[in-house]
Amino acid sequence: MADEANRTAFVELQGRLIETTAKLKQHQMRGKEGEKKRAYLTLDELQRLPDATNTYKSIGKLFVLEPKSVMVVEQKQKLEDSEAAITSLQTSKEYLEKQLAEVENNIRELLQQDPGLARQIMSMTVM
């Protein structure tokens, strides 16, 4: 009875471990950091230009004439949005890492409590 409960607990913990690891791998932090850097560099270049300069916004394969002020506002907004997304993603990543560590500790404790289960698992992975 206890063996079956431990086995069930192990399978559940293993599922949580796989799920949390997959979520961590799907994290979009690098992409948002790239967006932030592009927005910053574009904004920096736009601010160097005189106010009367014609600027063009890319929309797919099309380039549309936009006033410099509109482009500056858009780039500032992109920069702010990226920073907010990065902050949110960082918080999410920290939470997932804590969850992963907790699941790993729970699995470790379960295997230490039931050496027979640990042997069964090792015999299954050897095959």
pLDDT category of residue 72 using cuts at 50, 70 and 90: very high
- For 4-20, what is the mean pLDDT? 83
Over the stretch 75-113, which tens digit does the pLDDT of each residue have?
A: 999 999 999 999 998 998 899 889 989 988 988 888 888
Tokens of 76: 């500032």
In degrees rounded to 5, what are phi and psi of residue 64?
Answer: -115, 135
Over the stretch 76-85, which tens digit does the pLDDT of each residue have?
A: 999 999 999 9
Q: Which long-range contacts (CB under 8 A, 24 or more apart) does 78-82 make?
A: 78/35, 78/39, 79/36, 79/39, 79/40, 79/43, 82/32, 82/33, 82/35, 82/36, 82/39
Report pTM: 0.69
Q: Which residue has the tokens 């910053």?
A: 40
